[in-house]
Amino acid sequence: MWEELLRALGLVLIIEGILPFLYPGRWRALVQQLASVDNRSLRTAGLISMLAGTVLLMLIGGSPE
């Protein structure tokens, strides 16, 4: 279980690092725009993201072999 969790964390870090690596200027502008978004909108986006991830995990199946 811990191995899969660490793999998932590694993939998240890789995916999160793609934009700042490829487009640092655009990424900085995006972060500045996000700073001006209200908390409710950010929470809604976070909830939608979590739900989409949960559905994706459910669709790809049960326990790993």
Note the pTM of the prediction, 2 decimals.
Answer: 0.69
In the chain, the number of structural domains is 1
Rg (CA), the chain: 15
Buried b or exposed e, range 33-64, using 16+ CB within 10 angstroms: eeeeeeeeeeeeeeeeeeeeeeeeeeeeeeee
Segment (H or E) for 52: helix 39-60
Q: Is residue 65 part of a domain?
A: no
Range(s) of the domain holding residue 32: 2-60
Write down the mean pLDDT value for the chain.
91
| Residue 16 pLDDT > 60 | yes
Do the domain assignments include residue 27? yes
Per-residue pLDDT for 18 more than 80? yes
27 contacts: CB under 8 Å, gap ≥ 6: 19, 20
Q: What is the mean pLDDT of residues 8-35?
A: 94
Decide if pLDDT at 60 tops 70.
Answer: yes
pLDDT beyond 60 at 64: no
